[in-house]
Structure 1
Amino acid sequence: MRFHTRKWIKPEDLNANGRLFGGRLLSWITEEAALYSIIQLEDQNCVMKYMSEINFINPVSQGGIIEIGIEVISFGTTSITLKSEVRNKLTREAIATVDQLIFVVLDAEGKPKVHGKTKVEYVKDRLESES
């Protein structure tokens, strides 16, 4: 799994118990997965169709640094399925996992559109194929 984003836990990210608010973490995971999907499918008209449950494993306090990892599970004809893991950057201790996040590419009418992708592509690979 590749970890792309780091977050520093600040007071505004905490719940009433002084721990990272689950809704804030879910927002960060969703944004990271959406960006990853848009970049992989090379289409900004990409929306979340499904998210499995989030498994909160360990709490995070103010001042903690987390990192969000995304991995492709599969490519569908119009979709991409990802999984995510959030971990403590310094200890590598798992914070939370999401087993499935499914994003779908839509056409101008809001209907699923074939994206033509079948494997993960990295920027360096795209640059090499353009030269």
Structure 2
Amino acid sequence: MNFHTRKWVKPEDLNPNGTLFGGSLLRWIDEEAAIYAIVQLGNPRVVTKYISEINFVSSAKQGDIIEMGITATDFGHTSLTMRCEVRNKITRKSILTIDKMVFVNVDEDGNPAPHGKTHIKYIEEQFEKEDL
């Protein structure tokens, strides 16, 4: 799993216990997963269909730097399935895991649309295509 996006836990991200508010973290994950799906499917119109059990393993506190890792695990006809892990950048301690997140590729009318993708597209492949 590649960890690309990092967030700095700030005072406005905290819950009353002084740790990272789960809702803030889930918002960041949903946004990161949507961006990942858009890049993989080559379509700016994707929607969150399903998120499996969310396992909060440990907490983060103010000043921590966290990193989000997302990777594709399956390409359906109109969907992309991913898994996610969030960890502390410094200690590498896991903060959260999600085994399954499904995003659906949609057309201009919001209907599921085939995407024609079958494997993960890595950044190197994108640059090679642009260089042609």
Coarse TM-score class (shorter-chain normalised):
over 0.9
Q: Which runs of 5+ in 2 are unaligned?
A: none
Equivalent pairs counted in the alignment come to: 131
Paired residues for 1:13-92 under 5 Å? 13-92=13-92
Q: Distance in 2 between matches of 1:2 and 1:72?
A: 11
Q: Distance in 2 between matches of 1:20 and 1:126?
A: 35
Cα distance in 1 for residues equivalent to 2:126 and 2:65:
31
Task: Verify: 1:94 aligned to 2:99, yes or no.
Answer: no
Map Cα deviations across residues 46-95 of structure 1 (whole Å, 9 max, x no partner): 11111112100011111111000001110001010001000000010000
Q: Pick which of 76-85 and 118-127 moved more.
A: 118-127
Give the residue type in structure 1 aligned to 2:78.
T
TM value normalised by structure 1: 0.96
Shift in Å at residue 107 of structure 1?
A: 1.2
User: How many Å separate the matches in 2 of 1:92 and 1:118?
Assistant: 31
TM-score (norm 2): 0.96
Code of the residue aligned with 1:37 in structure 2: it is: A
Aligned-pair identity in percent equals 56
How far apart, CA to CA, are the structure 2 residues paired with 1:79 and 1:101?
10
Code of the residue aligned with 2:125 in structure 1: it is: D
**Whole-Å separation in 2 of the counterparts to 1:129 and 1:108:** 25
Q: Residue in 2 aligned with 1:103? A: 103
Shift of 1:126: 2.5
Shift of 1:125: 1.0
Shift of 1:108: 2.0
User: Which structure 1 residue ranges, 4+ long, deviate > 2 Å from structure 2?
Assistant: none
